Amino acid sequence: MELLCLPIKLVRIYLIFILTFVTCFYVAANDHFEVLSDAKYSVSDDWKITKNSSYHRIQSPNSSLVFYLVAGENISDIDLFVVKAFKQHFPGFKRGLLGKFVQPTASGWDAINDIEYKSAPAENLVISARVWTLGKKSYAFIGSNPTGEYQRRGSEIRFFSESIMPISYTPETYVMNQALPIEKLNFEQLSASIKRAKKYADIPGVAVSLFTADKIIYKQGFGVKKKGEPDKITPNTRFMIASNTKALTTLLLAKLVDEGRFNWETPVIDVYPKFKLGNNTITPKVKIKHLVCACTGLPRNDLEWLLTYSISSPQQEMARLATTIPTTEFGELYQYSNTLAAAAGYVAAYSLYPNMELGLGYNKAMQKYIFTPLNMNDTTLSMDTALAGNMAWPHSETIQADNIAIKMELNYSVIPNMPAGGAWSTVLDYAKYLQLELTKGKINGKQYISEKSLLARRAKIVSTGNGSWYGMGLEVAKQKGVYFIAHGGSLFGYKSNFFIIPELGIGGVVLTNADNGYPLAKFVRNKVFEMIFDGKQQAKKSFKESIDSKIKGLKEWTKDWVEMPSVAIRQRIGKQYTNEKLGDLFISHKDQELYFTFNKGATLAVAELNDPELGLSLITKEAGLLGLAFSVVEEGTKITQLILRDAQFEYVFTLSGK
């Protein structure tokens, strides 16, 4: 998921950062374009376009999303241009500015800006604009749309955003047969570039490996394991790899397909009879291949595992699926579900060890079928093992945008959903797995997993953007004419990414211990591509623009937060609130600080925001988990409800009588 393609409000919702894959790719142009003035673009199938000489009205198939692409000439003030566009197409528009941010330039544009406007939490709207500028012409893509539907159709919105370019622009295309062998790269230059980028982004530690199918070509650690401490990152340092665990989980599935325990088309209930998704109509339709394809229409409900992990278990996470109904049809849209992906690992474990607790069974299966055969001796699913060894500590930004070491406890949230993102690994160990991908299932020349089962995981199941798709724990993308396979991982204070180019038989892994690590992971891949294909030098500029935008965005987003909640708030708030799905929320005070503790989990510091348009909210200010916003509902002298919302769900915490 390309974070910068999302409106500010959605980017700020924690779920975008947690356990999501991020490949951050440039895509190939679509064959069919619509034209507005001097710009061309594409939309997904079945989207409707109504054309006018100065604007196009673009709406989703069910008309639940409506956007306007507005052309303007001689634009000297982008803010004024966008406001006029909103007033023209949304009569009565009058919204305060939430934020404006410069995005990395791409596709021939001189500038790309994102603008978002304020809306009350109860409205649940994304009111935003993205503006592309070339010379004296600008194009604003504006909309005021339901947050839930925006998230559901995020891949289609991204499809449009990635496709728009000036008519005069010819995208750079890499020529595969002119690729420089990876062994001949200037690694001294690459290392120097990574060091500079790490310093620019204030990332404490980075590890990188590059490899062919049978050899590690480059391995390097940069920086330190923890800020303020001297221990250095090495290629053998463990990081949490988060959603890059998913590819390992689907590798286990592929091995079990080979063993005949099930096939990709087997209904899940035939393997795990207790499985239930939503209702009795949906459940029988779910096949093994659907568990990690992000294609079932199951909406993200990450809050439900993130905030309940301290009282949850693998069995309870499996049971949670029974209460969640898909919001789109199978295969219709990309919707990413970590709980369903975790179910894949637990179903596999049950097929092997039906009498064993699901988490223990998954750990045993991964060790037997994946880690041991691949000699991945530094990869573990045990937090205790990782913390006792050579590991990188997580870091994230404060509301002042300072990068600091954060609470490791936040990452324990993944344990009940281990198969979706709980592994620790190194750039050398993970490369061993990716070398198996490059050899199409062989270890030391011998077929360990059949080519058919292995490659089935790469097959297109659902589109994720213009020229990209998601298979089973893997994404296939296209950058400047080059197809590659990739995935990203995100947990608190850890960001990672990998890529392989099967046609060239090469790949890379980048692991970081900071929440601003994604731009660096993208930079490393783009820099390697530029060096291999002798491409235009754009990686450095794009990286710096990404980091600058992120820092500016964070400061803009938090500038009105009151770090110490008012005396009035601290006097009116209760000691405990309860929600049926998320459990208990305990309130505590220390000096002038206010803290939230969810169930038996981490304790989070809270700030206050009182905005005339947004209303009164209490917002987590804990580094690593900034921005969980609770709308405050008062009756008399008491705060009786705290309402937490994400894109598709609302959770009302009610004052407890306990």
Provide the pLDDT for residue 658. 59
Res 12 pLDDT > 50: no
Under 8 Å CB-to-CB from 622, ≥6 apart: which residues? 406, 407, 410, 602, 604, 605
Select from 3.30.9.10, 3.40.50.10310, 2.150.10.10, 3.40.1000.10 the CATH code of 29-170: 3.40.1000.10
- What CATH number was assigned to the domain covering residues 176-552? 3.40.710.10
Report the distance separating Cα 271 and Cα 587, nearest Å: 43
Average pLDDT, the chain: 92
Provide the pLDDT for residue 20. 33
Provide the pLDDT for residue 170. 94
What order of strands is seen across the sheet that includes strand 111-117? 48-51, 55-59, 66-73, 137-146, 125-134, 111-117, 97-103
Res 204 pLDDT > 70: yes
Provide the pLDDT for residue 329. 80
- pLDDT band for position 31 (cuts 50, 70, 90): low
**Residue 115 DSSP label:** E
Structure-model confidence comparison of residues 460 and 442, the more confident one: 442
Res 10 pLDDT > 60: no
- pLDDT band for position 29 (cuts 50, 70, 90): very low
Give the start-to-end residue ranges of the domains of the chain: 29-170, 176-552, 567-655
Provide the pLDDT for residue 335. 84
Mean pLDDT of 387-405: 97
Res 22 pLDDT > 70: no
Provide the pLDDT for residue 4. 29
- pLDDT band for position 30 (cuts 50, 70, 90): low
- pLDDT band for position 299 (cuts 50, 70, 90): confident
Q: Where are the beta strands (DSSP E) in 459-602?
A: 462-465, 468-470, 475-479, 482-491, 494-501, 506-512, 576-579, 583-590, 593-598
Select from 2.40.128, 1.10.3470, 3.10.350, 3.30.160 the CATH code of 567-655: 2.40.128
Report the distance separating Cα 167 and Cα 418, nearest Å: 47
- pLDDT band for position 427 (cuts 50, 70, 90): very high
Q: What angle, 0 to 180 degrees and rounded to 10, lies between the N-to-C axes of helices 245-259 and 358-366?
A: 80
* DSSP code string of 404-446: EE--GGGGGGGGGGHHHH--EE-HHHHHHHHHHHHTTSEETTE
Provide the pLDDT for residue 385. 98
Provide the pLDDT for residue 17. 32
Q: Could you report the per-residue pLDDT of 517-551, keeping only the tens digit for each?
A: 999 999 999 999 999 999 999 999 999 999 999 99
Q: Could you report the per-residue pLDDT of 482-518, keeping only the tens digit for each?
A: 999 999 999 999 999 999 999 999 999 999 999 999 9
Res 91 pLDDT > 60: yes
Report the distance separating Cα 605 and Cα 632, nearest Å: 16
Res 27 pLDDT > 60: no
Provide the pLDDT for residue 324. 86
Provide the pLDDT for residue 28. 40
Q: Could you report the per-residue pLDDT of 379-388, keeping only the tens digit for each?
A: 999 999 999 9
Q: Could you report the per-residue pLDDT of 448-471, keeping only the tens digit for each?
A: 999 999 999 999 988 887 778 999
Neighbouring C-beta atoms of residue 24, cutoff 10 Å: 24
- pLDDT band for position 301 (cuts 50, 70, 90): confident
